[in-house]
């Protein structure tokens, strides 16, 4: 049962867990380097662009945006009017009848699909402002860890070309800051409400004193505009948890009032770096309301790639703050599922490549990155991931690169997205040059 994950051991992994999904120029270069050395996974998608039209798929299910303008030719598309009237936002109405198969020329899809992958490869995620999940350092009041948080109206974009939306954020980000504490810590979290509406904050998954449960009209009065509320408790429940609005929640959580609250085991030997040798500890919060289908507040191509070195072991903490189940599917290598809702699975741990995560659930998975390449990693409800204009929403990639490549990318100066794209083109990236690389 430990076929994919190293046996628990005190490895040479660093003491501190890496807190965020790697982003920035290193990630961009890493993806491109991996994209250059492999034709597999995500990049393979773009190979379709080079295929003769007759070999391409004849129709696609398309909940998304209208196709790009067509060159005048032949009979009009049977689906053109339906597509043109579709909302730019992904449909979330699963009960509606499926649209008719599209007769759009395949090249329309191919051009749009390539364009969106180019944006991902160009480092769109790193270009976005207001990245969430940033670690929040407490201040100490005696032996109590104090976290100061604000509840703010914000402007947010799920990708660089999306319309700016009126969203909400803790400390002005969606997701809010990542809060890590240790089992047994005394925690005080002070929330100042900067919105013009009331709210209440619930620590989801924690065992709490009832008065600290954060449900307005059940355990407290709503926090008024301009007001504050202090939540104080001892962190008893180990593992991956969340904090979110528990008031007008469809709207407030849907617009971004969500964040990760992680309780590390008191015994360092039980933490994932020691237990599995994990060197990256990644929070992955999904949402599916305002802004459509998002991972950590972004939709593809603005989602952050995960960049790992061959042989590295990473942990992903899936958290679902949305209203639907999402089956997360990884290409290239499996996931070992080790905890649910913070509770270790022990001998019930299992291995899979597709993991359904229901609303409110948290699942922790360990991935041994033992296959080089750029591997697509996406929700497998296809309406949440790919439409007539290519991939969108709940899609990212796990990029596994050689150690030498990782070292080389570190030594390079930061480059703009355009420079990265130019370098990739020069290197023969399939995404830009439409060449299938020869792999011996
Ligand atoms: Cu989904």
What domains are defined for the chain?
25-46+122-128+272-433 (2.60.40.420), 139-265 (2.60.40.420)
Across the strands, what pairs with 378? 329, 395
* pLDDT tens for each residue of 351-405: 999 999 999 999 999 999 999 888 899 999 999 999 999 999 999 999 888 876 6
**C-alpha 320 – ligand 1 centre gap (Å):** 10
Selection from 152, 254, 243 nearest residue 196 by Cα: 152
Given a cut of 70, is residue 56 above it in pLDDT?
A: no
d(Cα 435, Cα 336) in Å, to the nearest integer? 34
Return the DSSP state at 275.
Answer: H
pLDDT of residue 124: 92
| Range list of β-strands (E), 235-312 | 239-245, 258-264, 280-287, 294-295, 306-309
pLDDT band at 418 (very low <50, low <70, confident <90, very high): very low
Structure tokens belonging to residue 315:
């942990």
* pLDDT for the residue numbered 105: 54
Q: What is the pLDDT of residue 290?
A: 81
Q: What is the pLDDT of residue 231?
A: 98
Give Cβ neighbours of residue 104 (< 8 Å, ≥ 6 apart).
59, 60, 67, 70, 77, 79, 80, 83, 388
pLDDT at 122: 86
Separation of CA 323 and ligand 1 centre (Å): 10
Confidence band, pLDDT 50/70/90 cuts, at residue 406: low
Among residues 318, 178, 326, 199, the alpha carbon closest in space to that of 251 is found at 199
pTM above 0.85, yes or no: no
* pLDDT (mean) for 234-239: 97
Distance 381 CA to ligand 1 centre (A): 5
Distance from C-alpha of 119 to C-alpha of 125, rounded to nearest angstrom: 9
Residue range 267-295: average pLDDT?
A: 94
Instruction: Quote the ligand 1 centre to 82 CA distance (angstroms).
Output: 23
Give the three-state DSSP class for 38: coil
Are the CB atoms for 185 and 147 separated by under 8 Å?
no
How many A from CA of 384 to the centre of ligand 1?
5
State the pairing for strand pair 239-245/258-264: antiparallel
Indicate if the pLDDT at residue 95 is higher than 70. no
364: which strand partners?
Answer: 317, 339
Residue 78 contacts residue 104 (beta carbons within 8 Å): no
pLDDT tens string 185-197:
999 999 999 999 9
The conformational region for residue 160 under phi > 0 = left, psi -120 to 50 = alpha, else beta, is: alpha
Cα of 328 vs centre of ligand 1, distance in Å, is: 7
Q: Give residue 401's pLDDT.
A: 85
- Give the model's confidence band at 407: pLDDT under 50 very low, under 70 low, under 90 confident, else very high: low
Confidence check: pLDDT of 296 > 60: yes
């Amino acid at each position: 049962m430990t076929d994919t994950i190293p046996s628990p051991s005190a490895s040479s992994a660093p003491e501190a867990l890496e807190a965020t999904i790697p982003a920035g120029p290193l990630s961009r270069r890493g993806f491109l380097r991996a994209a250059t050395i492999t034709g597999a996974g995500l990049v393979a998608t773009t190979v379709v662009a080079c295929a003769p039209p007759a070999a391409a798929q004849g129709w696609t299910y398309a909940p998304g945006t209208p196709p790009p303008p067509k060159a005048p030719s032949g009979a009009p598309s049977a689906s053109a009017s339906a597509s043109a009237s579709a909302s730019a936002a992904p449909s979330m109405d699963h009960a509606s009848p499926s649209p008719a198969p599209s007769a759009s020329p395949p090249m329309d899809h191919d051009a749009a699909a390539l364009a969106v992958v180019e944006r991902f490869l160009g480092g769109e995620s790193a270009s976005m402002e207001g990245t969430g999940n940033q670690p929040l350092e407490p201040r100490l009041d005696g032996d109590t860890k104090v976290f100061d948080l604000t509840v703010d109206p914000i402007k947010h974009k799920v990708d660089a070309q999306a319309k700016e939306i009126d969203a909400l954020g803790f400390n002005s980000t969606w997701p809010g800051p990542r809060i890590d504490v240790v089992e047994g810590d005394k925690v005080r979290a002070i929330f100042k409400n900067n919105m013009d509406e009331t709210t209440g904050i619930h620590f989801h998954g924690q065992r709490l004193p009832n008065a600290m449960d954060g449900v307005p009209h059940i355990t407290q009065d709503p926090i008024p505009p301009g007001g504050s509320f202090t939540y104080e408790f001892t962190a008893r429940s180990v593992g991956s948890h969340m904090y979110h609005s528990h008031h007008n929640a469809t709207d407030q959580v849907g617009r971004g009032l969500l964040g990760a609250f992680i309780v590390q085991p008191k015994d360092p030997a039980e933490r994932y770096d020691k237990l599995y040798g994990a060197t990256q500890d990644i929070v992955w919060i999904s949402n599916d309301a305002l802004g459509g289908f998002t991972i950590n507040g972004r939709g593809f191509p603005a989602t952050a790639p995960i960049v790992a070195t061959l042989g590295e072991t990473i942990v992903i903490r899936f958290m679902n703050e949305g209203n639907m189940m999402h089956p997360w599917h990884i290409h290239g290598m499996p996931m070992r599922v080790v905890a649910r809702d913070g509770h270790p699975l022990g001998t019930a741990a299992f291995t899979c490549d597709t993991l359904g995560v229901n609303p409110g659930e948290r699942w922790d998975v360990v991935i041994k990155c033992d296959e080089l390449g750029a591997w697509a990693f996406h929700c497998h409800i296809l309406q949440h991931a790919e439409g007539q204009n290519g991939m969108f929403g709940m899609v990212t990639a796990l990029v596994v690169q050689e150690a030498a490549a990782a070292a080389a990318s570190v030594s390079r100066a930061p480059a703009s997205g355009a420079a990265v794209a130019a370098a990739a083109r020069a290197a023969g990236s399939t995404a830009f040059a439409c060449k299938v690389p020869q792999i011996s």
